[in-house]
Amino acid sequence: MESHQATPPDYQAPPPEYYPDTYRPEPAERPSLVKRAGGAIAAVVAVIVKFAAKLKALLLILPKIKIFTTSATMLVSVAAYSLIWGWQFAAGFVLLLLVHEMGHVIQLRREGVPATAPLFIPFLGALVGMKQAPKDAATEARVGLAGPILGSIGCLVPLGLYEASGNNLFRALAFVGFFLNLINLLPVLPLDGGRAMAALSPWMWAVGFGLLVLIMVAFPTPIVFLVLLFGGMETYRRWKQRKSPDSQRYYQVKPATRIVIALTYIGLAAALGVGMHFSHLHRTL
């Protein structure tokens, strides 16, 4: 016989909160979309700054490593550019870079600043190491402009070879050389034009950054990004030190020297524009 326990008539079931397994805590407030986006952007910026610091340190160390000689890095660069343009154009392009960098080396040594031989980095160009900083902004400007001046003269060689042979390879080399030297005159650090602005008007660095940002938007490339990154770091460092006595002495330039540098800068930019005009090669489909 089955037994049943009767439920008292006045029995009431306990509320749902009585049962532990039916309890659900209130959901915690989630961070807003703006806060999450801000955290993600901060993390990305931190990674970029850390990477930039390591890359800058690497670029400073490379010239001191004996294995990375000028000739070896030139050959590596020619091989790298050959994958895109073929070996003939790549060889001519690297030679034009060499002429440009030798302008910096020659002027540095004329100013009494010890300098290393050029070091080539594929797809980034080349660099020259200084064993001490220039003594003043005028020296920095002369060293900066010496590269595009000698580089522009070097571009006349392939232009002359084109006139003599009619080979468009030389014409294309001349155009690219004029173009790169002109881009280097943008008034933003660490480009050569930014070095010239140190003796003319450091406030022009802001204009240069604006132009470079427009170039980055129109033609996004890793090189432009690196120029913006390193240039921003260097400009910020100089801006923080602008009121120190050493910094104020550094940027003192005689009016006559400032006029000569300004005329050289403007004349060089105009000459490079003319060179690009006469070496421009119209593409036909």
Kindly report whether the global pTM for this prediction surpasses the value 0.85.
no
- Cα end-to-end distance, the chain, whole Å: 102
Determine the average pLDDT of the residues in 221-232: 85
pLDDT of residue 170: 96
pLDDT 10s digits, 166-204: 999 999 999 999 999 999 999 999 899 999 999 998 888
Whether 123 is in a domain gets the answer yes
Kindly state whether residue 242 falls inside one of the protein's structural domains: yes
For residues 272 and 152, give the distance between their C-alpha atoms in angstroms, rounded to a whole number.
Answer: 7
66/216: higher pLDDT: 216
For range 93-103, the mean pLDDT: 96
pLDDT the model gives residue 42: 54
- Return the closest-CA partner of residue 140 out of 181, 193, 178: 193
Exposure class string for 119-143: b at 16+ Cβ within 10 A, else e = bbbbeebbbbbbeeebebbbbbbbb
- Give me the chain's average pLDDT, please: 81
Give the pLDDT confidence of 248-262 residue by residue, as tens digits: 899 999 999 999 999
Q: Does any domain span residue 96?
A: yes
- Model confidence at 18: pLDDT above 50: no
- Kindly state the greatest CA–CA separation across the chain: 122
Cβ neighbours, 10 Å, residue 56: 15
pLDDT of residue 153: 96
Residue 6 is assigned to a structural domain of this protein: no
Domain carrying residue 210: 44-279
In a domain, 70, yes or no: yes
Indicate whether 29 belongs to any domain.
Answer: no
pLDDT at 7: 47
Residue 6 has pLDDT above 50, yes or no: no
Distance (Å) of CA 66 to CA 61, 63, 74, 116, 130: 11, 8, 14, 11, 16
Whether residue 162 contacts residue 104, with contact meaning beta carbons closer than 8 Å, is answered with no
Exposure of 103 in the CB half-sphere (CA atoms within 13 A): 22
Work out the percent of the chain whose per-residue pLDDT is above 70. Answer: 75
- Number of domains into which the chain is organized: 1
Q: Which residue has the tokens 């049962």?
A: 19
The per-residue pLDDT for 14 is 53
Residue 107 has pLDDT above 70, yes or no: yes
